[in-house]
Structure 1
């Protein structure tokens, strides 16, 4: 709904003359013609009335008055006055000389009425003065409302500009993230393809040789069989690791078995990785631990997680270095499966990607850190599935310590 245009309030006329009979005459005559009229008999009283009553829109004043003249009164009333309180001054004079007319013009008065007064003429001049005052005040109200609307529009424009700027920034961020995601996807596909194809090469190549007609020495057949078996185990480990991660991500329950001494489980892990360590010239050690430390939970997954950490440590260690595998009691109860190496330390960016499958700090095919990037992802999820956590921290003497911390199992119900 469109609002009605603003209406200026009803305006009042102030008659100022030091002769009281003239004031009374004009009050009576103008009131009879429907005007609202007030009276004052000197300039100071008139200024006080105008100051106190903003509805006064026209001042009808005698020019010659004791104390302050009507011209001086007009200058005081009109000086610095806003259009929202527009005021018109009509002067009454018995001697309309050129000097008086010029002074009235300079004082910005509305009109000059010659004495002796003709009441109809005074009423007509006052009516025009009132109309002028109303129009000026109404225009000021409209201008103020327009200014408010302009400021509101400017504020809205600024707000929309900020939103547009923020949206543009978010769009740029989204495009950057999309480009980074695309690059990461390409790197990921390249790593997965490389890591899955690599163990297939000896499997297919040596099996093709064995399937041929050529007679091969028994030792060579055993070597080929061993290489095929190693490639198959590597491929199976990769597939099983990926499937375990997917299963844990989808909330697959654990398959707990009977509690087993932690030292025995880690012994099997170390034996399984001994050939890889020897191939890289790395020595594996496991200090004698507490035989009373028992592992509970899904022992297959715990073994796989510890094996992944050990595999990472072997890959990170220079030739001739030692990798330590141990089970330790936690002060608050529970067990920590700890793997320590003395390699170059954590690759840059690895902690930021901890737990992300198939991702490594270096995704290039020429990276110095081989593997598909499943180890930490699996170890992290296995630890969380057992209400524990995976911790990685650099060692002061160089290298890295990886720990799977497992809480003590709840006491059996009596």
Structure 2
């Protein structure tokens, strides 16, 4: 026969939140994770006043009634973060009757991953629907009313080409993001001469800047700057940041690309180098900055599509920087332009993330 002290000892030994309800519905034992989840000690209180959430209360009541195990969800909070728990209610026979044992499994990460997947599918579908609808409409028009209209045909074919190119860019960015995420936990260690890479990408992008009426100013140290990394991915970071600055920095005199010398970097707790891209465009309001690296997030959706943006460029940059154990910092004010700074470790591995 289990005594109350035995039950308390067993419950306290469990690594997940566990609550034991006696035959009268009152809490006989709850381990520290469970009391932290409920926000109170709970012992001696009836489960209706201790647990409160209707779905969980219904499951406990039914398990008391028919002694059949059941599962449900419990919503909690951890600081400012909402958490989701899968709760199993199982009957537990005692000398004085049947109680109910509640165990809580944290499924917050699983729920968030599912939501991210659903949002991703919805966003991709939305991004593809518009150009596909346009293409189908123009094909139908070219087969019908505009069959013999050469001027209309040329105009429609030009629009179709732009929409097809937009879809191709989206697919390419999606594939790139997938490749980066697949290897994000594998830190690249091959030496990359970042100073040469910066100059190489700058020359490739310079015609785009001139076409936009912007001067591309590049500043790199005289000596070689080398970092451990993936050359192709770092090339993509520089290219994405430069192209973004050119697209959204119109109206300013120039886009500035600079690379610093290795120096101690407190955010990395090791030696690091700073790569910075600055534009003098309209700038970004502060409430947008934290979300800029989210997939498909746009400050101005209409303008972004007009200039050919897919909404994935900064998400790709974030994941590449994370893979390199670096930091990405974004500074911007409306009317003052924007500065995107990548801090990469140049020596021993350090901690990384997005600030």
Q: Match for residue 177 of structure 2?
A: 245
Aligned pairs for 1:2-17 (under 5 A) are none
Q: Tell whether 2:260 aligns with 1:328.
A: yes
Instruction: Give the conservation status (yes or no) of the 8 Å contact 1:284–1:322.
Output: yes
Q: Match for residue 267 of structure 1?
A: 199
Instruction: Give the conservation status (yes or no) of the 8 Å contact 2:284–2:333.
Output: no
Distance 1:310 1:410 in 2: 28
Distance 1:376 1:367 in 2: 13
Q: Match for residue 342 of structure 2?
A: 404
Alignment partner for residue 123 of structure 2, among 183, 188, 191?
A: 188
Instruction: Give the conservation status (yes or no) of the 8 Å contact 1:390–1:403.
Output: yes
Distance 2:320 2:335 in 1: 29
Q: Match for residue 233 of structure 2?
A: 301
Alignment partner for residue 280 of structure 1, among 186, 197, 212?
A: 212
After superposition, what is the alpha-carbon deviation per residue over 1:273-298, rounded to whole angstroms, capped at 9, x for unaligned?
33433343333211353342234421
Quickly say closer, same or farther: Cα 1:377–1:369, change in 2 above 3 A: farther
| Structure 2 residue matching 1:310: 3-state secondary structure | helix
After superposition, what is the alpha-carbon deviation per residue over 1:377-397, rounded to whole angstroms, capped at 9, x for unaligned?
111111121121211123698
Quickly say closer, same or farther: Cα 1:291–1:241, change in 2 above 3 A: farther
Quickly say closer, same or farther: Cα 1:329–1:234, change in 2 above 3 A: farther
Tell me which protein shows more strand as a share of its residues: 2
Shift of 1:410: 4.6
Give the number of aligned pairs.
246
Q: Match for residue 312 of structure 2?
A: 374
Q: Match for residue 332 of structure 2?
A: 394
Q: Could you list the runs of 5+ residues in structure 1 that have no partner in the other structure? A: 1-148, 205-223
Shift of 1:299: 0.9
Instruction: Give the conservation status (yes or no) of the 8 Å contact 2:209–2:215.
Output: yes
Alignment partner for residue 359 of structure 1, among 297, 303, 312?
A: 297
| Structure 2 residue matching 1:334: 3-state secondary structure | strand
- Measured on the aligned residues, the alpha-carbon RMSD in Å equals 5.3
Instruction: Give the conservation status (yes or no) of the 8 Å contact 1:261–1:294.
Output: yes
Q: Could you list the runs of 5+ residues in structure 2 that have no partner in the other structure? A: 1-23, 28-42, 57-73, 77-81, 84-110, 140-156, 265-270, 350-355
Shift of 1:300: 0.8
Shift of 1:249: 2.0
Distance 1:378 1:271 in 2: 22
Instruction: Give the conservation status (yes or no) of the 8 Å contact 1:395–1:401.
Output: no
Instruction: Give the conservation status (yes or no) of the 8 Å contact 1:256–1:298.
Output: yes
Quickly say closer, same or farther: Cα 1:286–1:248, change in 2 above 3 A: same
Distance 2:133 2:204 in 1: 20
Q: Tell whether 2:246 aligns with 1:314.
A: yes
Q: Match for residue 383 of structure 1?
A: 321
Quickly say closer, same or farther: Cα 1:385–1:345, change in 2 above 3 A: same
Shift of 1:338: 0.8
Aligned pairs for 1:18-29 (under 5 A) are none
After superposition, what is the alpha-carbon deviation per residue over 1:105-153, rounded to whole angstroms, capped at 9, x for unaligned?
xxxxxxxxxxxxxxxxxxxxxxxxxxxxxxxxxxxxxxxxxxxx9x99x
Shift of 1:167: 6.0
Shift of 1:240: 3.7
Structure having the higher Rg: 1
Distance 2:304 2:227 in 1: 36
After superposition, what is the alpha-carbon deviation per residue over 1:178-218, rounded to whole angstroms, capped at 9, x for unaligned?
9x9899568623553168769989xx9xxxxxxxxxxxxxx
Quickly say closer, same or farther: Cα 1:345–1:296, change in 2 above 3 A: same
Distance 2:335 2:175 in 1: 36
Quickly say closer, same or farther: Cα 1:401–1:365, change in 2 above 3 A: closer
TM-score (norm 2): 0.51
Q: Match for residue 50 of structure 1?
A: none
| Structure 1 residue matching 2:128: 3-state secondary structure | helix
Distance 1:320 1:248 in 2: 32
| Structure 2 residue matching 1:286: 3-state secondary structure | strand
| Structure 1 residue matching 2:176: 3-state secondary structure | helix
